[in-house]
Structure formats: structure tokens, C-alpha cells
Amino acid sequence: MTEKELGRALLQAHAAGLGATPDPRLLTGAILERDRRRVRVLAVAAIALWLVPEALVAYVLTTFADDFIPKQKQLQRGVAEGKLTGEERRRLEAFHLDWIAVGAKVGAVSVAAIALAAVVTVMLIAASRRATLRQINASLVTISEQLKQLREGRGPEAGRT
């Protein structure tokens, strides 16, 4: 049940009078179920979004160790020994510049993913708190109804202790 459906149901119940009021337990159950789904979806989204920057950083570190460092050593060794031709040197330097550009782009995407993951995490915390408060309120209403039934069942002295 969405917020709009709940609102319509409450307005229709109010317009039709108390006799047509939907069962509050059904409405409460629908609201609590919607909250559970929302929290579940936000939790999955938050976990997935936190995994994206982790994967990107792992990619950068892996390629750095596997590609960049060996090519850098090759460049340094070739320059020191004077064995590199001008074309080989330009090719290795171009590789380094390209790698740095890709690393910067991946870093920027990682930062954006972290920011998005943080926003979704805050949304998850807020939704979880709201759901918890609704569950507490629903439990308190149930307890209140049970106490009222106990008082009515025992008579006027049930209220005194």
C-alpha cells in the first residue's frame, strides 16, 4: 500500500462515516509491510553502492601493480641504459599519461559512488528509524486495546490498583 492509497483510504473512511472505516489492523499491517520492503530495498542498494567504489579501487590498485609499475621500471631502465629509441620512449610515456588519466577518472567515479552510497545509507537509517517507530506505535495500540478489554471485562474496579 502506497502513501497515496493509504491517504485515499483514510479520506474515504472519513467521508463515509465511522461505519465504513477500514480495519485499523489491516491498514497498520499494510503500512508496516511497506516499511519492511522499503528498508530491504534501501539496504540492498546501500550494500551494492558501497561495493562499487571498493571494486573500482581494487581495479586501480591491481592495474597499478600489474601494468604501471613494470612499464615504469622498463622506462627507467631504458633511459638509464640509453637503449630506448625516441619512439619507444614516447610510447611508454603515452601509456603512463593514459593510465594516469584513467586512474583519475576511476577515482572521480569512486568518490561519486561513495557520496551516493552515503546518501542511500542515511536514507536507510531514516527509513529504519521510521519503521521502528511505527512498529512500536502499532504494538502500543495493541497493548492499549488489550488493557481496555481487560478493564471492561472486570468492571470499574479494574482501573483501580
Structure confidence at residue 114 (pLDDT) = 94
How far, in Å, CA of 76 to CA of 83, rounded?
10
> Which H helix or E strand runs over 40?
helix 24-63
Give the integer Cα–Cα distance in Å for 155 and 14. 32
**C-alpha cell at position 75:** 622506462
CB neighbours of 67 closer than 8 A, spacing ≥ 6?
Answer: 99
**Mean pLDDT computed over 124-148:** 90
Say what the pTM is.
Answer: 0.64
110 or 20, higher pLDDT: 110
Rounded to 5 degrees, what are φ and ψ at 2? -85, 170
pLDDT at 20 exceeding the cut of 70: no
Q: What is the pLDDT of residue 94?
A: 87
Integer Cα distance of 97 and 81 in angstroms: 22
pLDDT of 1 > 70? The answer is no
- pLDDT of 161 higher than 60: no
Give the pLDDT band of residue 96 (cuts 50, 70, 90).
Answer: confident
Q: Which of 3-12, 39-48, 92-101, 140-149 has the highest mean pLDDT?
A: 39-48
The percent of residues in the chain predicted with pLDDT above 90, rounded, is: 33
What are the C-alpha distances in Å from 111 to residues 48, 104, 108, 115? 15, 11, 5, 6
State the average pLDDT for the chain: 83
pLDDT for res 65: 82
